[in-house]
Chain A
């Protein structure tokens, strides 16, 4: 028997897009948790100090630390935490590009949780709120079981978020540890 030589193709483009969207999602979560009242309320309810989102295998991750009523990105990760894993690049791509919502990710087993379930549900609600503001309305039917109601404040936040996203994307190549 001869050894078969094979090469596993990397999904470079999807991996890059995931990396960028992950970076934007982390930044957006931090940004909105300081400005949106609903996210502040939900963050206050969170009974853990750290939330980690990771794309398996060896993909990027975001660490968020709870500071009072808002979330900040951090490189540290301590006890009292929940971890959310995307099982693979494709699952992360579907979720990060708004093709499926966070709840669908859970119920289709595309993402899985390590840690307290009630806290994961609160964090899912935060993620849903971030996505509701981040993604334009035509994505919402796919992303949510119930279409979120957005008012002037949310549209204003979305406008600000888009402006900041342009700035973050310019900064992205310079950021370390992404």
Chain B
């Protein structure tokens, strides 16, 4: 008898496509967000994307109560707490996050503090600590990778204790995600490459995770097909709206998928590389992906063979294992292509990771929340072996 069991949850309303940003005030009214606080970062502002968001309010009775445009790339609990004070003093009733992972996670953190009326975000660290609906949160991604617009996790650093705090709760999920391809048109090549590889890692790990389920699989597969078709095209022609739209949708699908099936060893190592060596998350995933797949080969080769079909490399004459190997080789060659097109490092040494930090990275990786969902159990020694292979 089949004793399998799964849960799947995604209540985020998706508004996607050409000029979808123009719907922002209308959607805000529907969710009673009449005085939203806009959070964004310098890069987004300088690229003119904040102006595009503000333009959407033209002629509307809905107006932002305040704008914070300098969220750093590694946001902290202190920043979240101080923004929460501004939210309250400005009389805001909702939040709009315009940016990548850090801005979105900061917005999720601020929403926890203001909705639960607490002073310090740290009070609600961990899993399932939130027990009520939060204020309206709208997310407008400007990268195509994190999938944060559809996930119930926020990771925010605590510099005082040099740790990254994870907040997980279904209540953290945004109410609305606006996927407007125009918002990713100015994303530089390097970031396009690494954030898309982040999305690809989400999909591959979600498809092979222990928590995988038929619904998350379907999201992963579509996401993989889109990334396979549009990543290189986008790097060659980043101004093409169709390319950008498809990558943004791929990222969203990957986010929905891994939010419901979780990720594995590649993310465990990438989180640790971020914490110890401050390696950007997308880049860490880009480097570790094929080595993590090699480690999981013994347990996951059947699933890798299935995925090879969606990378259009499946060969009916070959065995499952051979097709799975071809997939890993395909990821290695994709790395080389990204290096040539976008100039990203594909070895840890070139990315500035120090060998002497490996034990620390390994220690953190085995205690990462994703580790429990990997198809194959791993130890600190296994992580060090992977890091050594990815080093030079």
Contact = CB atoms under 8 A, between A and B. Distances in A.
Q: Do A and B bind each other?
A: yes
B127 A117 contact: yes
Given A107-B262, A114-B129, A122 B372 contact: no
Interface string B134-170: 0000000000000000000000000000000010100
B211 A117 contact: no
Contacts of B166: 117
B126 A116 contact: yes
Contacts of B369: 117-118, 121
Given A117-B168, A122-B367, A107 B372 contact: yes
Contacts, number: 55
Contacts of A82: 126
A145 B376 contact: yes
Given A124-B372, A145-B377, A112 B128 contact: yes
B377 A112 contact: no
Contacts of B126: 82, 113-117
B210 interface: yes
Interface in B239-274: 262
By DSSP majority rule, is chain B's interface helix, strand, loop, or mixed? loop
A121 B367 CA distance: 6
16 contacts: A103-B372, A104-B210, A107-B211, A107-B372, A108-B5, A108-B6, A109-B7, A112-B127, A113-B127, A113-B128, A115-B126, A117-B166, A118-B368, A121-B367, A124-B372, A145-B377
B373 A107 contact: yes
A146 B378 CA distance: 9
Contacts of A112: 127-128
B127 A120 contact: yes
A133 to B, nearest CB: 18
User: Which of A107, A110, A122 has most B Cβ within 10 Å?
Assistant: A107
A155 interface: no
Nearest to B166: A117
Interface string B1-45: 000011100000000000000000000000000000000000000
A37 to B, nearest CB: 16
A146 B372 CA distance: 12
B371 interface: yes
Contacts of A162: none
A117 B368 CA distance: 8
B371 A121 contact: yes
Contacts of B320: none
B168 A144 contact: no
B308 to A, nearest CB: 24
A121 B377 contact: no
Interface in A118-137: 118, 120-122, 124
Contacts of A116: 125-126
A99 to B, nearest CB: 8
A106 interface: yes
Contacts of A107: 209-211, 262, 372-373
Contacts of A145: 210, 375-377
A116 B127 CA distance: 7
A121 B127 contact: no
* Max chain A C-beta neighbours (<10 A), residue from B125, B168, B262, B372: B372
A112 B211 CA distance: 14
A118 B262 contact: no
Nearest to B128: A114
Nearest to B363: A45
B129 A115 contact: yes
Nearest to B260: A109
B29 to A, nearest CB: 35
Contact of B210 (A103, A110, A120): A103
A7 to B, nearest CB: 27
Given A103-B210, A121-B367, A145-B377, A114 B372 contact: no
Interface in B154-212: 166, 168, 209-211
Interface string A81-109: 01000000000000000000001101111
A119 B124 CA distance: 15
Interface string A26-50: 0000000000000000000000000
Given A107-B373, A113-B126, A120-B127, 8 more contacts: A109-B6, A113-B127, A114-B126, A115-B126, A117-B369, A118-B369, A121-B371, A144-B377
